[in-house]
Amino acid sequence: MKNLFAPWRLEFITGKRPEGCVFCKLPAEAGRSRENLVLHVGEKAFVVMNRYPYTAGHLLVIPLRHTSDFASLTGEENSEISELLQRSLRVLGEIYRPDGFNLGMNLGAAAGAGIREHLHWHVVPRWYGDTNFLPVLADTRSVPELLIQSYDRLRPNFEAVPGPGGGAGPEMEARPKGDRGS
């Protein structure tokens, strides 16, 4: 059986598909940040929660400029994206205390990009044992927290975390396997 309660997916399955690029629309709707799960909007890039996460706390860092061409990013865009990736690691480390992270992007449909027309980086917190029998045997993932609960936990801390130079988050290697910290 592959049934898992995930009510937030009903909107994706039955809802009307928006026209245009969803990543361009999200930061423009400033009054709907919570509804859109937008955690931070900068000058060149923004951070949003993944609406269909791999794990709790799965974030996306996205340039504001619409592009699918990584090589076209300016120095300013690269700099802000890098800073937001670091900030995302710090916030997720503080809130979720993961044992590690997956950090990366898929360029093009052949590489697995679900939204291939707009660059976006995935920041996925990982824990020892998070790949258990569900994804391995049942091709099903379990996300233990509602998206809006995750948003409400992350948002206040997101703006409070310092910018560049504040470290990239908890030292993953320093924590013994299975130790969640205090």
- The residues annotated as belonging to the active site are 120
Strands (E), the chain: 38-41, 45-49, 59-63, 100-104, 121-126
Do 41 and 62 contact (CB within 8 A), yes or no?
Answer: no
Angstrom CA distances, 174 to 75, 91, 96, 97, 180, stand at 33, 18, 16, 13, 11
Which neighbouring-strand residues pair with 64? Answer: none
Q: How far apart are CA 32 and CA 112, in angstroms?
A: 29
Do 36 and 44 contact (CB within 8 A), yes or no?
Answer: no
